[in-house]
Chain A
Amino acid sequence: MAQQTVTIKQRSASSYRAGAFMGRFTVNAVLVVFSLICLVPVLLVLSASLSTETAISQFGYTLLPVQFSTAAYEYILAQPQRIMNAYVVTSIVTVTGTVCGLTVMSLLAYSISRQRFALRKPLSFYIFFTLLFNGGLIPFYLFVSQTLKLKDNPLILILPYLVSVWNVLLLRTSFQSLPEELLDAARIDGANEWRIFFQIAIPMSTPVLATVALFTMLSYWNDWWMSLLFINNKSLYSIQFLLYNIMQGLEAMNATPEIAARYGGNLPTLTVRMAMAFFAIGPVAFAYLFLQKYFIRGITIGSLK
């Protein structure tokens, strides 16, 4: 009798362990599959860009290159003006926008985070109200193009994204949590608000600043919307807008005659397209590897407010 209960107990324990193992296995299997699905398209594009044109037109896009070739990249690098120009435009816009945006947003967020600022409440309302109501696309378009006359002006790629209300919200929350006694101590020592801002508030908020910097960088690097609305001048095409135009067939593969001759009229459009896409992903993927912890933290703070 006693022996029986022991065996039963043992069995149930081992079957429980087996069940737990199966459970863990299933959990990990599902997550591995989903993680792969998240990354597979990158592989597809990379593989397409590293195949020969004939392999693509014969076998279609595959997950691994059927006939390995770097022809698409050679083709792009043989006449790099267009992609280089887009890179230059995007880089200048991204760097300028991130530096200026971070400055403008932290100053704004700092001011509305301070209890002693009499206009804190109306100013906060003024800023956050824009999340609730906006005039819509057509008034915005007409105002920028007719009143500000910023069509085909590189400033329009930068200015509208300098202040992102969500990022101001993030920064304000962070500045609000600064210990007031510390700031008061600095004030007693004769520090003015500028000094407190630059020498205390900013150094103590580096994690949130890094997060906001990352979000701002991404929003500039990935932007195509302002270009779609306001840019016609090809020398002002950003990398995303160039890609968009290539996908829409609006931008031909314009080869110089000698390059066209080298390919015998069969320009490698299918592979070059994908290689161009890879040029746009490359820097972001690289940055992602280093900055993802800020990204995760930023979303967590943002979603929990």
Chain B
Amino acid sequence: MAISSGSMARSAVPVGSAPRKSFWSRLKLFLDKNGTFMLMALPGAALVFIFAYAPMPGIVIAFKDLKFNLGVWGSPWVGLNNFGYLIATPLTGRVLFNTLFMNTLFIVTGTAGAIGVALLMNEVHGKFRGRVYQSAMFFPNFISIVVVSYFVFAFLSTDQGLVNNVLKSFGVEPLQWYSSPEYWPVILVIVNIWKGVGVGSIIYLATIVSINPEFYEAAKIDGANKLDQIRYITLPLLIPVITILTLLAIGRIFYADFGLFFIVTRDTPALYPTTDVIDTFVFRGLRQLGDIGMTAAAGLTQSVIGFILVIIANLVVRKVDPEKSLF
């Protein structure tokens, strides 16, 4: 922009350098000023291009009948057929429900848990003790989901699992956890809390710590106990942060945590009724070739709805607190 308007302005001048030369000299000036920065940004920008932008045209697969021998571009167009198949599949409703339902559970329990831990941590006065608690509670975040699946297996394995051992010792019939889908929403919520609540509490704790201590002193003089203080001072002052984080989470509600639903469940088909989500559904479509067009349609729908939701969520966040929005 700046370059072209500059050369236009120059061309109005009758004598002196020709517009062509002026463009090149302007470009040279621009490169002198910005060339180093451009060179610095180049490797990173190129990687972003290759792995984020270059695959994007491939979304046309959602509108094609993909034949591997013809390639993406040679395959015939089929219009909206893939979306038609997607709507016609009974799996779609289930997958959509599971994604939204589980993510809603995660948002609610994760937020409540993180606030609870933050409130508790705020009452810990020993610096060392606080460090120890935090070290323990952040640890699960360091562990890969594959290792988490080993943990879950050690608890829930039918023959050797710790949970069934405990059940047996109370005389309760052991359960076949890996073939009982009805328990998995609860199991996954527990795993999600276990993994995320410690880290999730940090932002709430940072907010609580920054609350003006005079509020609490005034409340104490008025005879408010700890619970009153939490209820009437801390929680109301946390509401903006809770709102923002919840909105951002809602913006991502169509994206499921693939590792949690695929690896922790050990991709057990018996558990699909409650654990099959958009991301696992798309992944399976990729593996079991044949309905790749339909799953590409599912993936594209997810991307587009996700995009719209993120934009809306950010616009609302910007209304609440301009500093916290992504853009």
**Chain A residues within 8 Å of B, Cβ to Cβ:** 19, 23-24, 27-28, 30-32, 34-39, 41-42, 44-45, 48, 56-57, 59-63, 104-105, 107-108, 110-112, 114, 116-119, 123, 126-128, 130-144, 146-148, 159-160, 162-163, 165, 168, 192-194, 197, 218, 221-225, 240-241, 243-244, 247-248, 270, 273-274, 277, 280-281, 284-285, 288, 292, 295-296, 299-300, 303-305
Contact = CB atoms under 8 A, between A and B. Distances in A.
Interface stretch (B13-21, B86-94, B137-145): B137-145
Contacts of A42: 139, 151
Contact of B40 (A108, A130, A146): A108
A44 B162 contact: yes
Contacts of B194: 37-38
Given A62-B162, A132-B311, A31 B124 contact: yes
A35 B199 contact: no
Interface of B: 2, 30, 33-34, 36-38, 40-41, 43-45, 47-48, 50-59, 61, 71-72, 117, 120-121, 123-124, 129, 132-140, 142-151, 153-155, 157, 159-162, 164-165, 194, 198-199, 202-203, 206, 225-226, 258-259, 263, 266-267, 279, 282-283, 285-286, 292, 295-296, 299-300, 302-303, 306-307, 310-311, 323-324, 326-327
B282 A60 contact: no
Contact of B34 (A117, A136, A247): A117
A244 B154 contact: no
A19 B266 CA distance: 48
B305 to A, nearest CB: 11
Contact of B150 (A59, A118, A163, A277): A277
B154 A142 contact: no
B45 A127 contact: yes
A129 B133 CA distance: 37
SS class of chain A's interface: helix, strand, loop or mixed?
Answer: helix
13 contacts: A34-B117, A37-B194, A38-B140, A42-B139, A59-B165, A61-B161, A104-B43, A111-B40, A123-B45, A127-B48, A132-B307, A139-B57, A139-B299
Nearest to A31: B133
A146 B71 contact: yes
Given A119-B37, A138-B61, 10 more contacts: A34-B133, A104-B43, A119-B41, A127-B44, A132-B326, A137-B286, A138-B299, A273-B150, A288-B142, A300-B202
B61 A274 contact: no
A192 B36 contact: yes
A34 B139 CA distance: 12
A143 B58 contact: yes
Contacts of B52: 130, 134-135
A39 B149 CA distance: 15
Contacts of B45: 108, 123, 126-127
A231 to B, nearest CB: 14
Contacts of B307: 132-133
A28 B129 contact: yes
Nearest to B283: A137
A284 B44 contact: no
Nearest to B150: A277
Given A62-B162, A277-B150, A138 B58 contact: yes
Contact of A111 (B38, B137, B263, B285): B38
Sort A-B residue pairs by CB-CB distance and give the 7 closest, nearest first. Answer: A139-B58, A108-B44, A136-B299, A35-B136, A222-B144, A41-B151, A143-B55
